[in-house]
Amino acid sequence: MNFDYSDKVKDLQARLLDFMDAHVYPNEQRFFEEVAANRAKGNAWVPSQLVEELKPKARAAGLWNLFIPHSPRVPDGLSNLEYAPLCEIMGRVPFAAEVFNSSAPDTGNMETFERYASEALKVQWLEPLLRGEIRSAFLMTEPAVASSDATNIQCSIARDGNEYVINGTKWWSSGAGDPRCAVYIVMGKTDPEAPKHSQQSMVVVPANTPGVKVVRPLSVFGYDDAPHGHMEVTLTNVRVPVENLLLGEGRGFEIAQGRLGPGRIHHCMRSIGAAERGMELMCKRLNSRIAFGKPLSAQGVWHERIADARIMIEQARLLTLKAAYMMDTVGNKDARAEIAMIKVIAPNMASQVIDWAMQAHGAAGVSDDFPLAYAYATQRWLRLADGPDEVHRQSIAKLELARHIATAPQDIDMPITRGS
């Protein structure tokens, strides 16, 4: 086994780190001040001028669309294993991924368009997304049902001649608050009488279609994540051409399986990046503060926490890289246990490491003077995004039990949860 990154990845890592040092870290506070200033003026839902200034620089540096997998459209795209360490670097700052046009949910949506959309839809939506001209959202979760089980989804996608008519309410539609959000990928039911996993389909809905209404932003521990946002969206008699259906009726779960694996690698590596940032801030704080006559870093309890944090980070990174490697070599289906494992371990690990970092900072750690409180809220939320811990643990347990009984792993139903 080779635990070293390729020369190609090392070069990208070095260039990305240099860019972060030159342009992202020095402007981190400016980003949040800009959002606060827009909010004080009465509208926080304004694209960040800072991010828009940095995008051309990232593109000029060859650090654009880093997430794009190898495909006929992008022959020099990166594998999951190659992209993972780059995603970790971007995860150290909340807005960094957008600078490189590599932020969720656009990444998952672009991969969905690339894999499953017609050429006409690719030209209409994928191309401007790749250029960073528009944003997108993925509408799956619903307030009226337990969406951790996607078979519960009630949003209706009914055929009417040459159109589909969509009715339903979605929420936690990340990215829908951005005024540049021009297109949604919506999951709903085309045939409630079909077999359980063949009822759902995915359809492309332009955001300006009559009947689409963004109702309100939802907050995460008080943070509204403007100008990105997590929105409640209603669709009332929304009509789109039948050509907007992806792949075919009843194939929503198939599409979800295809898009969720890479998205979870992205989420987990960003979580590891956030944990590394927390570890760095914790150690600097412990070395600089004196309590009871000696540095905090000289007190035994912090030695244990630092050691545990390093062990936990390395474990999570190795397992995530293994999952990425398996996705590249044997495919998402055979890597599903590892994909479920990392979705449990990464945000739980990051939550604990960042919690210790906040404790090391005392009251300052829960304030906005440091990035820790926001990072903690994000990691705690990620234990629900893409499905709660319990769903993924259930998947892992089913696969483990199947090794010891006559049931073949491929015969076990794996849950589909909220997309990234």
pLDDT at 357: 98
pLDDT at 407 over 80: no
Work out the burial of residue 371: count CB atoms within 10 Å of its CB; fewer than 13 is exposed, 13-18 middle, 19 or more buried. Answer: buried
Domain limits, CATH 2.40.110.10, in the chain: 135-247
Task: Quick: pLDDT tens for 287-336.
Answer: 999 999 999 999 899 999 999 999 999 999 999 999 999 999 999 889 99
**Domain topology for 253-411:** Butyryl-CoA Dehydrogenase, subunit A; domain 3 (1.20.140)
At how many degrees (to 10) do helices 80-90 and 252-288 cross? 40
Q: Which of 247-251, 330-334, 343-347 has the lowest mean pLDDT?
A: 330-334
User: Tokens standing for 26?
Assistant: 């020095």
Domain limits, CATH 1.20.140.10, in the chain: 253-411
Beta strand pairing call for 135-139 and 294-295: unpaired
**pLDDT tier, 359 (very low <50, low <70, confident <90, very high otherwise):** very high
Residues in the chain: 420
Provide, rounded to the nearest whole percent, the portion of the chain with pLDDT above 70.
96
Report the pLDDT averaged over residues 112-122.
95
Q: Who contacts 34 (Cβ-Cβ below 8 Å, separation ≥6)?
A: 48, 49, 50
Q: Which of 3-7, 34-38, 376-380, 383-387 has the lowest mean pLDDT?
A: 383-387
pLDDT at 73 over 90: no
- C-alpha 160/C-alpha 189 separation (Å) is 14
pLDDT at 409: 60
pLDDT at 88 over 50: yes
Homologous superfamily assigned to 135-247: Butyryl-CoA Dehydrogenase, subunit A, domain 2 (2.40.110.10)
> If you average pLDDT over every residue of the chain, what do you get?
93
Query: Count of alpha carbons within 13 Å of 123, Cβ hemisphere only?
Result: 3
User: Tokens standing for 311?
Assistant: 């062990």
Report the pLDDT averaged over residues 45-66.
96
Mark 83-106 as b/e (b = at least 16 C-beta within 10 Å): bbbbbbbbbbbbbbbbbbbbbbbb
User: What does the longest C-alpha to C-alpha distance in the chain come to?
Assistant: 79
Going by CATH, does the domain composed of 7-130 fall within 1.10.540.10? yes
Q: Dihedral through CA 16, CA 18, CA 22, CA 27, nearest 10?
A: 40
Task: Quick: pLDDT tens for 91-101.
Answer: 999 999 999 99
pLDDT at 420: 43
Domain limits, CATH 1.10.540.10, in the chain: 7-130
Nearest to residue 354, comparing CAs of 94, 83, 17?
94
pLDDT at 321: 97
**pLDDT tier, 236 (very low <50, low <70, confident <90, very high otherwise):** very high
- C-alpha 324/C-alpha 84 separation (Å) is 7
- C-alpha 417/C-alpha 65 separation (Å) is 26
Nearest to residue 180, comparing CAs of 141, 211, 207, 218?
207
